[in-house]
C-alpha cells in the first residue's frame, strides 16, 4: 500500500485485513519445470528488463539469482482485474476494522510494547496510539502480513496486465532490498501486489522510509516489530504529522449549512467554521474541543452525507490519509486511536436502519447460516461470496430486501428464528 491509486490499494488492504491472501506461487529460487505457457513470455520480458535493472543499481548477480528460474504467479492478474461485485458501505467497513475486539487487542499491544512505543513517540513525535492503530489495521498486529511470495508476483505484474511500469519499479525496489540483505528471500512474503511486513509497506516505500530501530543493521519490517513500528512513525512524520495536534473531531453542523463543496483539502480556519455554526459534536467550540487556536486550518468531511457523522479534519488526518489514499481508511485509524484512549463510537448514528456487525457478530451470523444448512465454509467473520449468497437466500425467505449484505436486521431475525 502506501501510494498509488486508491482503488487498487484499498482493495488490497481489505484483502490483507481479511487474511485471505492465498495466491499460489512458486519460490523464485526453485528451478522447477515451467508448466505455464506464459512463463516463456515472462522470461523473455524479464530479459528485456535486465538493462533497466542494471541502471536501477541492481547487480548482475542479484538479477541473475532472483529472476533466472522464476515461475510466474498468474493468480495475481485476476486480483489486479478484480472488480468487487459488492460495494461495502462505510459503516460495515468501519465496524469490521474498529470493533471491541480490535480495541481490546490494541490496548493490550500498547501495554505489551509500551517501552518501545514510548521511544518511538519520542524519536518521531507520533503518538503511540496512532502507531498501534496503523499496526492493527494493516496486519492485525503482525498476524496477517500476507502469504504471497512477492518476487514472483511483482515479476508477473511487471510483464502482464495494466500498470506494468508501476510494478517494474516495485520489482526493482524488491531486488535492491534483497541485495542489501535487509530481508532474506524466504521471509519476503506479503500481499499479492507487493505490500509486505507488519505495516504493509510497498517495496519503494520501504526504500524511502523504513528505518532500523532495533539497531541490528538491517531494516526488517517483517520480523522486527521495532523496525516496523518506527518505520510507520517515520512515514507519518515525513507525511507532515504535527506533534501535539489531534487528527480532528466529530462535528455538529446546522441543518441549513451547505457543505456540498467541502472536503479534506478545502480548508478553512476554525474561526470560519465557528461562524458557520459548526461545533464539536458535544456542543463545544472547535477551538476548545481541539485545543487549537482559531486560525488553525481545517477541512470538513461528510463520508456518508449530511445525515451521517461529519468530521472536522486537521493536518494529521491528511498524514493518515497519505498512508493509504482513502478517507475511510484514515478515519478508521483515527477512530481506533481515539477508542484506545477511551472514546466511544461516533455520536451521530450512521444513516442506515440496518446497523453494521462487528467481527464477532459476523461470526455469529455465519454460525446461524451454517446451522440453517448453508455451505459457507469456515466461520471466519469474513462475509465473502459464499456467505453473501446464503444471506441473499435468507433475506428472500424472510421477506427482507435481498441485498446480500449481512447487517443487524438479518442477525436479529435469524437469532429469533433459532431460539424458537
Q: Mind telling me the catalytic residues?
A: 138
The label of the residue with cell 448514528 reads 349
Considering only residues 218 to 257 of the shown chain, the ones binding Ca ion according to CB under 5 A are 218, 224, 227
> x/- site string to Ca ion, residues 10 to 29, per CB under 5 A?
--------------------
| CA–CA dist 181, 43 (Å, integer) | 25
Residue 104 CB, nearest distance to Ca ion (Å)? 29
CA–CA dist 362, 59 (Å, integer): 49
- The residue of the chain with the least Cβ separation from Ca ion equals 212
| The one segment of 14-22, 49-57, 216-224, 379-387 that binds Ca ion by CB under 5 A | 216-224
Q: Which is nearer to Ca ion, 231 or 304 (CB)?
A: 231
Nearer to Ca ion, 205 or 387 (CB): 205
Q: Least distance (Å) from Ca ion to the CB of residue 211?
A: 8
Q: What is the DSSP letter of 321?
A: H
One of 214, 223, 364, 417 touching Ca ion (CB under 5 A): 214
Where do we find the cell 491509486?
Answer: 5
Alpha-carbon gap, residue 53 to 172, rounded angstroms? 6
In angstroms, rounded to a whole number, what is the distance separating the alpha carbons of residues 78 and 369? 29
The distance of closest approach from Cβ of residue 223 to Ca ion in the complex, given in angstroms and rounded to an integer, is 9
CB-CB contact of 73 with 24 (8 Å): yes
Nearer to Ca ion, 8 or 229 (CB): 229
Of the residues 36, 121, 212, 223, which one makes contact with Ca ion according to CB under 5 A: 212
In the region spanning residues 70 to 99, those forming contacts with Ca ion, defined by CB under 5 A, are: none
- Quick one: 139 or 387, whose CB is closer to Ca ion? 139
Q: Minimum Å distance from CB 217 to Ca ion?
A: 7
Centroid of chain to Cα 274: 33
Interface with Ca ion includes 216 (CB under 5 A)? Answer: yes
How is the chain split among helix, strand and coil, in percent rounded to 5? 50, 5, 45
Dihedral sign, Cα of residue 134, residue 7, residue 331, residue 144: negative
Q: CA-to-CA distance for 300 and 260, rounded, in angstroms?
A: 10
> Whole-angstrom Cα distance, residue 158 to residue 171?
7
Smaller CB separation from Ca ion, 214 or 272: 214
Q: Which three cell numbers stand for residue 107?
A: 490496548
* C-alpha span between 323 and 197 (Å, rounded): 14
Q: Which is nearer to Ca ion, 92 or 182 (CB)?
A: 182
Phi (first) and psi of residue 40, to 5 degrees = -65, -45
Question: Which cell goes with 157?
Answer: 505484474
Q: Residue 224 CB, nearest distance to Ca ion (Å)? A: 5
Site size toward Ca ion, by CB under 5 A: 6
Strand residues in 51-203 grouped as ranges (E) = 148-149, 189-190
Residue 49 or 145: the one with the smaller Cβ distance to Ca ion is: 145
Are 273 and 371 in contact by the 8 Å Cβ rule? The answer is: no
CB of 153 to Ca ion, least distance (A): 25
Q: Give me the 170-209 binding string for Ca ion, x by CB under 5 A, dash otherwise.
A: ----------------------------------------
- Rounded to the nearest whole angstrom, what is the least distance from the CB of residue 233 to Ca ion in the complex? 14
Given the rule CB under 5 A, which residues bind Ca ion? 212, 214, 216, 218, 224, 227
Amino acid at each position: 500500500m502506501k501510494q498509488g491509486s486508491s482503488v487498487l490499494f484499498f482493495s488490497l488492504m481489505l484483502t490483507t485485513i481479511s487474511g485471505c491472501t492465498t495466491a499460489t506461487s512458486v519460490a523464485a529460487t526453485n528451478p522447477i519445470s515451467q508448466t505455464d505457457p506464459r512463463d516463456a513470455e515472462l522470461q523473455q520480458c524479464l530479459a528485456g528488463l535486465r538493462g533497466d535493472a542494471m541502471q536501477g543499481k541492481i547487480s548482475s548477480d542479484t538479477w541473475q539469482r532472483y529472476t533466472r528460474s522464476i515461475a510466474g504467479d498468474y493468480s495475481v492478474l485476476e486480483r489486479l482485474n478484480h472488480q468487487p461485485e459488492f460495494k461495502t458501505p462505510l459503516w460495515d467497513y468501519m465496524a469490521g476494522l474498529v470493533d471491541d475486539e480490535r480495541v481490546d487487542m490494541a490496548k493490550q499491544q500498547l501495554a505489551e510494547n509500551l517501552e518501545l512505543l514510548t521511544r518511538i513517540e519520542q524519536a518521531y513525535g507520533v503518538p503511540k496510539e496512532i502507531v498501534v492503530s496503523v499496526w492493527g489495521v494493516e496486519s492485525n498486529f503482525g498476524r496477517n502480513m500476507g502469504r504471497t511470495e512477492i518476487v514472483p508476483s511483482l515479476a508477473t505484474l511487471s510483464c502482464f496486465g495494466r500498470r506494468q511500469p508501476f510494478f517494474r519499479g516495485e520489482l526493482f525496489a524488491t531486488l535492491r532490498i534483497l541485495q542489501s540483505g535487509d530481508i532474506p528471500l524466504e521471509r519476503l512474503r506479503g500481499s499479492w501486489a507487493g505490500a509486505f511486513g507488519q505495516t504493509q509497506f510497498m517495496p519503494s516505500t520501504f526504500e524511502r522510509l523504513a528505518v532500523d530501530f532495533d539497531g541490528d543493521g538491517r531494516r526488517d519490517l517483517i520480523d522486527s516489530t521495532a523496525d516496523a513500528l518506527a518505520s510507520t512513525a517515520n512515514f507519518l512524520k515525513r507525511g507532515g504529522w504535527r506533534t501535539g495536534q489531534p487528527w480532528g473531531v466529530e462535528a455538529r453542523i446546522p441543518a441549513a449549512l451547505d457543505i456540498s463543496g467541502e472536503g479534506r483539502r478545502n480548508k478553512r480556519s476554525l474561526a470560519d467554521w465557528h461562524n458557520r455554526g459548526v461545533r464539536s459534536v458535544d456542543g463545544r467550540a472547535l477551538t476548545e474541543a481541539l485545543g487549537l487556536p482559531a486560525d488553525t486550518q481545517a477541512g470538513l468531511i461528510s463520508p456518508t452525507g449530511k445525515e451521517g457523522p461529519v468530521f472536522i479534519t486537521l493536518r494529521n488526518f491528511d498524514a493518515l490519509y497519505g498512508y493509504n489514499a482513502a478517507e475511510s481508511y484514515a478515519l478508521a485509524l483515527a477512530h481506533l486511536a481515539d477508542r484506545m484512549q477511551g472514546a466511544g463510537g461516533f455520536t451521530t448514528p450512521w444513516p442506515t436502519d440496518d446497523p453494521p456487525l462487528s467481527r464477532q457478530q459476523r461470526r455469529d451470523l455465519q454460525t446461524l447460516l451454517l446451522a440453517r444448512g448453508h455451505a459457507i465454509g469456515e466461520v471466519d467473520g469474513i462475509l465473502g461470496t459464499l456467505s453473501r449468497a446464503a444471506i441473499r437466500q435468507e433475506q428472500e425467505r424472510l421477506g427482507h430486501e435481498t441485498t446480500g449484505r449481512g447487517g443487524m436486521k438479518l442477525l436479529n431475525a435469524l437469532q429469533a428464528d433459532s431460539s424458537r
